Chain A
């Protein structure tokens, strides 16, 4: 009798446990703060949120780890505080272990991952309209090209990651820069032909056809493809969407006339400006006399885009293209990625390089558009090709300072980096024309090679 009851109890218990063990008991809800990838790309609202997630990286992370550091790395900015990671840039002696350098690299590749994922996922998506798929895919291609353009300039032979396959990417080797440029041009041409001239969303904060064209003109210039650089710049200037150029005081307001693409800011201020614009006391970053002296007398850019402050008898000059250093939603500013002013200078150089100097469609005419906006008289110096090219490059220095590392990129492109910065600071070494690939990457990828001299 007793053993029978025991058997019953045991049978019940084992039955209960067996029942408990079924798979349902270890099933969990999908996390409430996450959306499965197939659902993200099954709906245009969530797919939009994924696409704009890439744009958002620029003001949040990428530019903060890049712009002011490249200003320090060249001859634009100097720094008075004691953070060693920043002082490395002042000396142009950046070790592979430097944190801003890793962050810059990391966030660019995070953006590239999301571009690659979006491109791959959209190919699989059946729920989205074909126009949405086409637009989003090409925005992702534009953003991928934008990231690679800067990476290849800063680091040289970067690994070209164009899929999300971790088995391939984790041990990928460096690509030569020609292959990277090939990919950039391919992506930009796709974006240029597939994106419309209309901007998605309000304002000019998502890439359109002309954003792709503007970056393409830049890439052509970098590749010394003067003909295509000129025609691309012309397409933008001739569209009259971005011209005439607004006065210097209006140029950096949100959705200004000359904005081709800007990165939207959440609270109306560019986050990088918080540290660049001083409040009271001595600024942490300020312009070198070398840059301040590069302006001609009466240049409106000097008075509009540079803030002068006097602390303890010393005069400091600070970046002031963006004027909001804290939340300002009534007069917002967005981080401008591409603008028409630069396109005039690209076209000017492309024309000058082709020997097209004077006349209404000559290099000097474009140069004068920029000079006129700056309140300066027309170019009146020597008109031989090399003088004009030099004048255009000088104009770029005073027009595009502290924007996207232009000074570094331009000097490097024209082969003048070692001479210019080498004479500016004693600690400059020739290998500094590329920054080091972050140590973390080398540690975890045996096929990656460090840049020369690091």
Chain B
């Protein structure tokens, strides 16, 4: 994965030692002066040089040189550098001659450091299932939200961009939907600090329906600050996170300083955004023809009279020759992206630092004044005492963003405006005869300001040679302030009498402290690692949401004090506390047999008294059979072979706070000047931890000296007693309540990861990575199912993301009306709704990437794909007073027509949109990323006195192969539906990275 290593494949570590004996009467000591270079002769700064049995360390400088003064004449010099095998050179050296030691660089990704929960291991020795992407993959992708960088890169991780606007949401599911309607987000941990991934403006009532949509907190994380993202998937990897691990764990590690000369890194890029594809809608002629047909079929005469049942302004009032392409008007713009990253890092053997600043600005494809800006600073400091017993490290990031967007609340209606709609009527006023008007709609605005501080302090002390005590303390404060303004001019005067604004404030504070004791004993043939730790976390989430109207001046719509009326005031307050103890033991016998066991006992305030504590744990084992002598001789082409398996129990506490408590809440409005109260929820004091049993078996194989690495996983996860927002009819007063679902839901799947080094030559290399996931979800059992709330929507044995609907039998060739299947086995002829028409779980998904480097050039391209079917966007049957997809051109027109689209009519057949007919192949292959870079040759950069200059061009979402006839805006984000979410954007940027 670490692609930097590809540059230094087969690199050699060379030493040029110069030393001189000192004229000293003391013990025999020398000065050692050396230089570390790779096979091209390029100096390697930052390598660690150590004399064994001494605590002193020397770090190579910018020129790869180091000096050791007063070194002993006897002993072993050890040189280590990431990506290279550690060299141990025995003293004394032959000082008279130039002494060169050639060492193979460690080009094997199996030996890369693998971040896992509360520790690190290597890919080779890991017993769990972990997928990682590193900064080299992230840097190539011009993304605003760090989570988009994961798209398609890791097996078992399904990333979906649900809103392509800056600040928009991204959903991630690791190994399928375990839960019905409960939180399915993984646990996110940034440098040891848990990060609340829930939507920031979820408390505001209209957040989801306007264009700005739901705000993901990950937008306030600068992607360039990230060193690696590890996705922990199986029980072995996640059980150390106990109750919070059942949806998987995403560990995000930020960049840290490296010892060596001070390095200044500047990266500047500039680019554009466009919509990836426009939906195929009817043009004016097609639209008018269908409308006229509709009136004819209905026996109606189009009329210009608003009180007539045949009122049709599009046919009778508006100019039927003037056409506007509303797609281009609304989505055809070009956004500009500017990004700046500056970073200073360096340090010596004892102290390292990394300080950075960043700025990002982005405009959108939408018309009007839109600007997203983000700025931030980051720091990472680490100091170790000279005797290496004590170390302290502090890291953190602060970022602030300001997202000013138009906030159309009827964007979907705007997009589906009849093509001959005119923005202004004949008298020059805003045309309201369609009920909406984009000119007005785009005058509504949203401004979101987010501040995010996340910081972490780690203290560590080596009590004994093998025993380390450490404490990690983290703090996260994220604050969002959203103002949505609706001036009078943005509203239809027929319905809305006053200007109004919505104000949302939300502050989340979270504090976490985790003491840990780590015992690491190396024995002759084996090693033992023991970890004992505890967690205490407290989080506070509070804020308010206010709707205000009748502002004295529209210039003051962002100032709540200028509102004459406060229409709705609600506040929210939740406190969360979490405490646990955990332990892990890993025993490794001669790097062939590894056993790993972890256990965690958790307590969470989200459960009622008596149900707060739960115990989780897992066992994992790995057998590196490739290292067995008999395998080596029997299968000489096999360079690496590992069989691993794990089984464990994890949980999920992603539920809303206080659900066990029976309360009344401030309703947000008054009655007779008394603030009204409303019942908060249906109380269930008895819900308890869910149990998620995960089983996994994996095989990892390396062929031809690990040039081909194959990883195959089979996973199975069975969750029972799932904590769900149990769906209930609203006649109960609420639409859900917190409960344990008695059902057993099973997720199984296959994951394949293949990494190959196709060509490895001095000036030319080509590597390929491929991953594919085939998931399956099944409802296994459900006691008393037929009398439960889920009897209609789920079927035992089927996927829990089942989509129900009508089954279209045909469009009657005689009448042109759609005919739907009745209930199987019933005598009734009325259409039956609860047929399985599909599922949301994709059939398969994955990614395919290539890295090609030739001399100073590097080209990367990455394809993402999925095979799936999704509900389409045919909300209305043809003939309605709104535009539609070209799909409806295929409608029934005359007796004898064989088609699956009913005749044009002004009367909507609502069954059609939730039938098999509106369910389409949404499979796609997307050229997700292309990155081309060129590093200036050494002789040029020497002349301009810099260390490195890289110029690059990057493109995201450049092209998509999909069924373009399927009525979607985009196959990845799915149907536009009733949401206002925009698809991921196509962006192209150019930039330069300069290192001093």
Taking Cβ atoms with an 8 Å cutoff, the residues of A that contact B are 2, 5-6, 9-10, 13-14, 16-18, 20-21, 23, 25-38, 40, 45-46, 48-50, 52-53, 55-56, 60, 78, 80-84, 88, 91, 93, 95, 97, 102, 105-106, 109-110, 112-114, 116-117, 158-159, 161, 164, 166, 169-172, 201-203, 205-206, 264, 266-267, 274-275, 278-284, 286, 288-289, 314, 325-327, 425-427, 438-448
What 10 new A-B contacts, CB under 8 Å, besides A35-B663, A93-B907? A5-B463, A25-B536, A26-B603, A32-B571, A52-B676, A56-B669, A81-B492, A113-B734, A279-B494, A448-B729
Q: Is B730 an interface residue (CB 8 A)?
A: yes
Write out the residue numbers on chain A whose beta carbons fall within 8 Å of the beta carbon of B679: 37, 50, 113-114, 117
**Contact of B577 with A by CB under 8 A:** yes
User: Does A102 contact B577, Cβ atoms closer than 8 Å?
Assistant: no
Chain A, Cβ-Cβ closest to B601: A21
Q: What are 25 A-B interface contacts by the 8 Å CB criterion?
A: A9-B517, A14-B532, A25-B577, A30-B658, A32-B542, A32-B573, A33-B666, A34-B665, A35-B665, A49-B675, A49-B676, A53-B678, A55-B671, A80-B433, A83-B435, A84-B882, A110-B734, A112-B733, A113-B733, A169-B731, A266-B567, A275-B496, A281-B429, A326-B498, A441-B729
- The complex places the Cα of A425 from the Cα of B536 at a distance, in Å, of 67
Partner of B432, one of A53, A264, A275, A282: A282
Beyond A30-B663, A35-B677, A82-B436, whether A13 also contacts B671 by CB under 8 A is no
Question: How far is A445 from B662 in the complex, measured between Cα atoms in Å?
Answer: 24
Instruction: Indicate which residue in B311, B577, B672 contacts A26 across the interface (CB closer than 8 Å).
Output: B577
Question: Which residues of B (287-307) have their CB < 8 Å from a CB of A?
Answer: 299, 305-307
CB–CB B880/A441 < 8 A? no
- A445→B658 contact, CB < 8 A: no
On whether the beta carbons of A284 and B495 are closer than 8 Å, the reply is yes
Cβ of B662: which chain A residues have Cβ within 8 Å of it? 36-38
With contacts A16-B515, A84-B908, A110-B733 taken as known, whether A288 is within 8 angstroms of B575 at the C-beta atoms is: no
Known A34-B658, A52-B672, A446-B792; judge A25-B787 contact (CB<8 A).
no
Bound Cα distance from A29 to B542, whole angstroms: 13
Contact in complex: B494, A283 (CB < 8 Å): yes
CB neighbours of A13 from chain B (8 A)? 469, 515, 517, 532
A56, A95, A205, A438: residue with the most chain B Cβ atoms closer than 10 Å: A56
Q: Which residues of B contact A441 (CB under 8 A)?
A: 729-731
Q: Separation in Å of the B588 CB from the closest CB of chain A? A: 22
- Contact partners of B515 in chain A: CB under 8 A: 13, 16-17
User: Which residue of A33, A60, A93, A444 contacts B792 across the interface (Cβ within 8 Å)?
Assistant: A444
- For B667, give its contact among A56, A97, A425 (CB under 8 Å): A56
B793 within 8 A of partner (CB)? yes
Roughly how many angstroms separate A446 CA and B833 CA in the complex, as a whole number?
Answer: 12
- Contact digits for B724-738, partner A, Cβ 8 Å, 1 yes 0 no: 000111111111010
User: CA–CA, A283 to B672, complex, Å?
Assistant: 31
In the complex, what distance in Å separates the CA atom of A171 from the CA atom of B564?
46
| A50 and B664 form a contact (CB under 8 A) | yes
A117 CB, min distance to chain B CBs, angstroms: 5
Known: A20-B579, A37-B662, A37-B664. A109 touches B732 (CB 8 A): yes
Our pick among B663, B678, B729, B908 for the contact of A114 (Cβ within 8 Å) is B678
Chain B residues with CB under 8 Å of A37's CB are: 662-664, 679, 683
Residues of B within 8 A of A158 (CB): 731
Contact A6 B880 (CB under 8 A): no
Whether B357 is near chain A, meaning CB under 8 Å from some CB there, is no
Would A56 and B671 count as touching, CB distance under 8 A?
Answer: yes
Known: A56-B670, A105-B730, A159-B731. A275 touches B494 (CB 8 A): yes
How distant is the Cα of A427 from the Cα of B300 in the complex, in angstroms?
11
Q: Is the CB of A53 within 8 A of B677?
A: yes
A438 to B661, CA, bound (A): 30
Known: A28-B657, A201-B672. A82 touches B881 (CB 8 A): yes
Of A28, A38, A203, which one neighbours B577 at CB under 8 angstroms? A28
| Set A5, A27, A30, A202: member contacting B661, Cβ < 8 A | A30
A-B contact count (CB 8 A): 301
Q: Is there a chain A Cβ closer than 8 Å to B434's Cβ?
A: yes
For A280, what are the chain B residues with a Cβ–Cβ distance below 8 Å? 493
Query: B890: which A residues are within 8 A, CB to CB?
Result: none
Residue from the set A53, A84, A112, A161 with the largest chain B CB neighbour count within 10 Å: A53
Docked pose: A30 CA to B680 CA in angstroms: 13
Query: Which A residues are in CB contact (< 8 Å) with B315?
Result: none
The residue on B at minimum CB distance from A50 is B677
Complex Cα distance, B726 from A169, in Å, reads 13
Question: Who on chain A is nearest to B542 by CB?
Answer: A32
Contacts of B574 in A (CB 8 A): 31
Contact between A26 and B604 (Cβ–Cβ < 8 Å)? yes
- Name which residue of chain B comes closest to A277, CB basis: B497
Q: How far is the CA of A441 from the CA of B793 in the complex (A)?
A: 11
Give the residues in chain A near B733, CB-CB below 8 Å: 109-110, 112-114, 116-117, 161, 164, 169
B914 to chain A, nearest CB (A): 7
Q: Does B910 contact A (CB under 8 A)?
A: yes
| Cβ–Cβ contact B534 & A20, under 8 A | yes
- CA A427 to CA B907, docked complex, whole Å: 9
Contacts known (A31-B658, A56-B670, A93-B907); A279 close to B493, Cβ less than 8 A: yes
Known contacts A40-B664, A274-B495; is A48 also within 8 Å of B674 by CB?
A: yes
| Nearest CB of A to B534, in Å | 4
CB-defined contacts of A284 to chain B, threshold 8 Å: 435, 492, 494-495
Complex CA distance for A14 and B911, rounded to whole angstroms:
63
Give the complex CA separation of A29 and B574 in angstroms.
Answer: 9
Which B residues are CB-close (under 8 A) to A52?
A: 671-672, 674, 676
Q: A6-B463, A91-B907, A105-B730 are in contact. Are A34 and B680 (CB under 8 A)?
A: yes
- A82–B567 contact, CB under 8 A? no
A286 to B311, CA, bound (A): 14
B464 in contact (CB, < 8 A): yes
B26 interface hit (Cβ, 8 Å):
no
- In the complex, how many angstroms separate the beta carbon of A49 from the nearest chain B beta carbon? 4
- Residue of A at shortest CB range from B299? A426
Report the Cα distance A82→B421, complex, angstroms. 13
Ranked nearest first, the 10 interchain pairs of A and B with the lowest CB-CB distance are A113-B733, A81-B435, A284-B494, A446-B791, A53-B676, A95-B910, A34-B663, A52-B671, A56-B671, A106-B730
B572 CB–A CB distance under 8 Å: yes
Residue B627 is within 8 A (CB to CB) of chain A in the complex = no
Q: Are B496 and A440 in contact (CB under 8 A)?
A: no
Our pick among A60, A102, A206 for the contact of B730 (Cβ within 8 Å) is A102
Compute how far the CA of A130 lies from the CA of B732 in the bound complex, rounded to whole angstroms. Answer: 29
A445 pairs with B665, CB closer than 8 A:
no
In the bound complex, residues from chain B placing their C-beta under 8 Å from that of A440 are: 729-730, 735
Is B565 an interface residue when CB atoms closer than 8 A count as contact? yes
Is B413 on the interface with A (CB-CB < 8 A)? yes
Supposing A35-B664, A60-B669, A161-B731 touch, asked if A25 and B494 sit within 8 A by C-beta, the answer is no
Docked pose: A53 CA to B573 CA in angstroms: 21
**Is there a chain A Cβ closer than 8 Å to B398's Cβ?**
no
Bound CA span A438–B309, Å:
26
Q: What is the distance, in angstroms, from A18's C-beta to the closest C-beta of chain B?
A: 8
User: Any chain A CB within 8 A of the CB of B550?
Assistant: yes
Question: Which one of B311, B413, B517, B571 lies within 8 Å of A10 (CB-CB)?
Answer: B517
Pick the most buried of A5, A80, A264, A275: most chain B CB atoms within 10 A of its CB. A80
Chain B residues with CB under 8 Å of A82's CB are 413, 434-436, 881-882
In this assembly, does B605 line the interface, its C-beta being within 8 Å of a C-beta of chain A? yes
A67 to chain B, nearest CB (A): 14
CB-defined contacts of B182 to chain A, threshold 8 Å: none
Closest partner residue, chain A, to B576 (CB atom)? A28
Question: Chain A residues with Cβ under 8 A from B703's Cβ?
Answer: none
Residue B467 CB within 8 A of the other chain: yes
Q: Is B25 an interface residue (CB 8 A)?
A: no
Determine how close the nearest CB of chain B comes to the CB of A99; give it in whole angstroms. Answer: 9
Contact partner, A81, options B434, B463, B604, B911, Cβ 8 Å = B434
CB closest chain-B residue, reference A18: B581
Interface residues of B in 442-483 (CB under 8 A from A): 463-464, 467, 469
